[in-house]
Structures are given as C-alpha cells and as structure tokens.
Structure 1
Amino acid sequence: MERHLPRPTDVDEAAAKRAERQVATFFVISMISAVLFCVAYFSFEVGESPDTFGRIGASNLTLGLSLGLALLCIGIGVIQWARKLMADVELSEPRHPVASSPEDRSETLAALSQGLEESGLARRPLIRNTLLGSLAMLGLPAIVALRDLGPLPDIKNTLEKTFWTPGARIVNDVTGRPLRPSDLEIGGLVNAEPEGLVEPYDGEREGIEYLEGVELLAEKGKAAVIVVRMEPEDVTEETSNWGVEGIVCYSKICTHVGCPISLWEQQTHHLLCPCHQSTFDLADKGRVVFGPAARALPQLPIEVGPDGYLVAVSDFREPVGPSYWERG
C-alpha cells in the first residue's frame, strides 16, 4: 500500500478555510435556487412564452433549472466537503459471518462518534449551518408544488351547495323521466337526480341545458337522492312536513364516508349503507339508528309542482356526504 500523503487542506489552515467557504457557497446557491423555484412557480403560467428556448415554455425552463441547480449544488457541496475537509484515513475491517458481539457493537458506535467528530460538523459551524439551511430550503419547492394537487375547495359553493334549486323536478336517474306521486307505490324506492343531470331516453330536452364531462360527474355525486313512499301515518310529523303524501326524498350519500346507499327495508323504514352498515330511519328525518355514521341523512324538502311532478322546494338545508372540520 502506498504511503498516505496529506492533502493541502490537512496542513494549510488557509486552504482549509477556502475549502470551507467553497462548500458553504454551494449550499447558499442551493438555498437561493430553491427560493427562485418558488418565485418562478408563481410568476409564470404553464405554457407562457413558448419561444423561451427551443420552444420550451418559461415555466418549465425556470422550474427545471432552479430545482436542478438546488439539488446539484447540495451534491457538489457534500462531495467537496468529503474530499477536502473530512478525515482522509484508509480503514479496513474484516467481514463477520455472524452477528456482531457486544464489544463489536460498542466499537461501531465509538467509530460512528469518531466519524462524526472527524467530519468537522462541530468544528465547522459555517458548513453545518449552510447545509442545514440548504436542505430546509429544498423543502419549499415540494411544499409549493403541492398546490398542483388542485385548488382549495370553495366550501360554500362546492361541498355545501348542490344542483338542486327551488322548483327543480325530480327525475329517475336511469330514464331521466320526471316523477309523479302516482309513479311511486307504498314501500317503493327510486334512485333519482335533479332535472338537468340525466337526459331522458326519448330525447325531449325541453329547452334544458344538460351538463357534461367532469362537471356532470361532480354534480351527480352530490345531488344523487333516493325517493321512497311510506304510509303517511308511519312518518313523523317533522318528516312529513318536507314530503308529499308519505313520499320523502333523502340524499343518497352516506354521512359516514360517502358511500352511495339504496338498501331499503320497507317494513322497518330503514336504509342501510353497504359499506359499514350505518342504518338510517327514513320515517324519522333520516336519524342514525345503527353504525358509525355520526349524523342523520340530509332530507330534501319536496312538493308537487304546478304540472303535477315532484319538485324540490329548495336545496338541501345542510351539507350532504361525510362531515368535515369546517362544517358549521
């Protein structure tokens, strides 16, 4: 084995200080690059300035360069630190075929402590602090990029508002046909939606603008209802005030975790969720009688419209679906 030769930084303190400043400079550049990533993220729209460089948009170019430079400078800084300032001693250690003995483990811990000391973290606070700063700043691009998961919901206009409006006709969610009271038998259940979300098979649009695509799916998921008919004397007065001749309408979305419900026990007037067995009494304002759901199933107030069809009196008076922290 060739004789070990000391490095300039091992014998010249001035050279060691220069190396330390070089390493710290790379870490500072990394911090600046992380901040530039955040600035570029909010400054450029996706697709803006397509002629920046080789038809690459300003957003992609600046985000890629700043994040790449932040990572690159941390890597270069660590390499320079290891090559010029950390202990430069060659070690050899035999392999052990079995688990290490307590003595070996103690020696390993001692070696780790020695390595930490030789790395110079304690003696070189400039490197330590700039390294920690660059690693901390590197988290900023990750936090900022989380914004691309989607916009924060406008709770009042998304979670707490559905497609139901005063006078909206209740239609079968398969055929799109509006429902009359005579269409429902005692003990029957119909899955329904507000008119405007389901086109009738016969193609009679009646001047209604039907939603499409993602907007349609989002509104369907919130506005889905079930309509059931019970004997009027079996329904509580408070429930019947929002119904018609024993016909009541409830949200189809379970208040536990949002599963769709339609398992109807007509003898007990109970509606069961197939996911976690939450059970709601539809004859008594949809109150929970069993299971993990924490609140009653929202009831939609309905009446008979001028044309004889069942219509909504208003939107739901409370948010549909699972509960959430911001719910008042």
Structure 2
Amino acid sequence: MEREDPKVQKERRLMLTLLGTSVGFATLSALLVAKDLVPKQSQSPDRLPPQVGDILVHATGHTQGEPISPDALPLGGPFLLAYPMDPKTGVVRSGDPKSTLLVLRLDPKHLAPEVARYADQGVVVYSAVCTHLGCIVSLWHPNLGVMQCPCHGGEYDPYRDQVVAGPPPRPLPLLPVKAEGSKLVVSGTFSGPVGVVG
C-alpha cells in the first residue's frame, strides 16, 4: 500500500477545513437572511395595551366610545367598564381583552397609600381581567364595596388593592391616570402583569 505524501495530506486537511468553514458561514448567512424574510408579528393599534396619553372612553352602553368624565363617576362606585383611546387617531384599544379597564371614584381619604399613588382626585383604574383564569371582572357589590369576577367569585377590594375572597392569586393591577379637564388620561403603565401569569 502506497503512503500518501505528508504535504498532500496537509493540503487535503487545509482544504477540508476551509470547505467546512465556508459551509458554516454560508449556513449562518442563509439563516440571517431567512430571519429577515419571516414577516414580523405586528400589533394593530387597537390591540396595543394602554399607552401613556390615551384617553379613557366608555366600553359599553349608549355612551360607548365617549370620553369618561371624572365628575360623572359616582363617589363610592359602581365602576364603569372602559377602554383606552388614542386621542390623535381616535383608535379605541378594544381589540385585546387585556385593555378592558374598571374606572371608579372613591373617597381619597380611604385609599391605601399604594392605591392613592395611582389615583387622581379619588379616581382609580384597575385592569378588568381576573388574575385567576382571565375572566372579566364585571360585578359590583355596593354594600361591601368590592368588585367581583362572575366566573369563580373572586372579590377585589378597590380601596386596598387586595383579594378579599375566592381563588385569585393576586390583586388586579392598577393603571395610573390623571384628570385633565373633563377627561381621564393614562399617565403610566400597569402596576403589575395583567391577567393570568404562567
């Protein structure tokens, strides 16, 4: 059996190394190009979460889509269901249930400090998405002053931002607002994650 010249062996190893490196770079380049060809998921404006500067509007009823006036909110509840609206485009962010909000006016003297810092003139805004299974909190108990989820009876105290009954693992997150004239304007982001957390 004839032995291969060491110089030829060295050249062959070099060629294989160069070929492997070239294939590796070609694969990497193809992946980078392919990544840019995949359409990026975009959120339409109606599916975005509340944005700073959005105005709160009625979510239901004959006033649906109209701005909520702080003065029109009855002191001590009940809450109103609301959506945020982009004031520049008029797009109501109702395309994602996580943008459903509970708006109510409470006596500022009775608000816990952690709630008062998100409120303006006693107006507080909570996410309406129950932290248990993601249902919409839609019941108000005037005698108890609590918000309730109709699915499994979870109850939330809006004065203290606490779960007071039922299975929800954590309170509803607060959304900071400011009263600007006859409108309520979003002034920050939610105090925590909205809805069910993995």
* TM-score where L is the length of structure 2: 0.69
Largest Rg, 1 or 2: 1
1:223 maps to which of 95, 99, 109:
99
- DSSP 3-state at the match of 2:98: helix
The whole-number CA distance in structure 2 between the counterparts of 1:233 and 1:260 is 28
- Per the alignment, do residues 252 and 216 of structure 1 end up closer, same or farther by CA in structure 2, a change over 3 Å counting? closer
Q: CA offsets, 1:181-215, max 9 Å, x none?
A: 1110112321100014xxxxxxxxx751537xxx9
172, 183, 191: which one aligns with 2:58: 172
Distance 1:303 1:254 in 2: 24
CA distance 1:177–1:282, shift in 2 (3 Å): same
Q: Measure how far apart 1:232 and its partner are.
A: 2.0
The DSSP-based 3-state class of the residue aligned with 2:51 is coil
Question: What fraction of aligned residue pairs are identical, expressed as a percent?
Answer: 30
In 1: Cα distance, 2:91 partner to 2:187 partner? 21
- If each structure's strand is expressed as a fraction of its own residues, which one has the higher value? 2
The answer to whether structure 1 residue 254 and structure 2 residue 130 are counterparts is: yes
Asked which structure has the greater RCO (Cα within 8 Å, sep 6+), the reply is: 2
Mapped partners of 2:94, 2:192: distance in 1? 21
Correspondent of 2:164 among 277, 283, 289:
289
Greater than 4 Å deviation, 4+ residue runs:
none
Cα distance in 2 for partners of 1:229, 1:209 equals 25
Contact kept? 2:83, 2:94, Cα under 8 Å: no
* Distance (whole Å) between structure 1 residues aligned to residue 72 and residue 112 of structure 2: 22
SS of equivalent residue, structure 2 residue 140: strand
Which of 181, 184, 188 lines up with 1:310 in the alignment? 184
Q: State the alpha-carbon separation in 2 of the partners of residues 171 and 177 from structure 1.
A: 5
Kept in 2, the 8 Å contact 1:162–1:316? The answer is: no
Bigger shift: residues 222-231 or 233-242: 233-242
Provide the residue aligned with 1:18 in structure 2.
Answer: none
Letter in 2 for 1:184: L
Which is helix-richer, 1 or 2? 1
Distance in 2 separating the partners of 1:216 and 1:230: 25
Give secondary structure in 1 for the equivalent of 2:132.
Answer: coil
Alignment of 1:72-151 (within 5 A): none
> CA RMSD, aligned part only?
2.8
What is the aligned partner in structure 1 of residue 79 from structure 2?
189
Query: Normalization by structure 1: what TM-score?
Result: 0.43
> Which residue in the other structure is 1:234 paired with?
110
Aligned residues: 154
- Alignment-derived partner of residue 91 in structure 2: 210
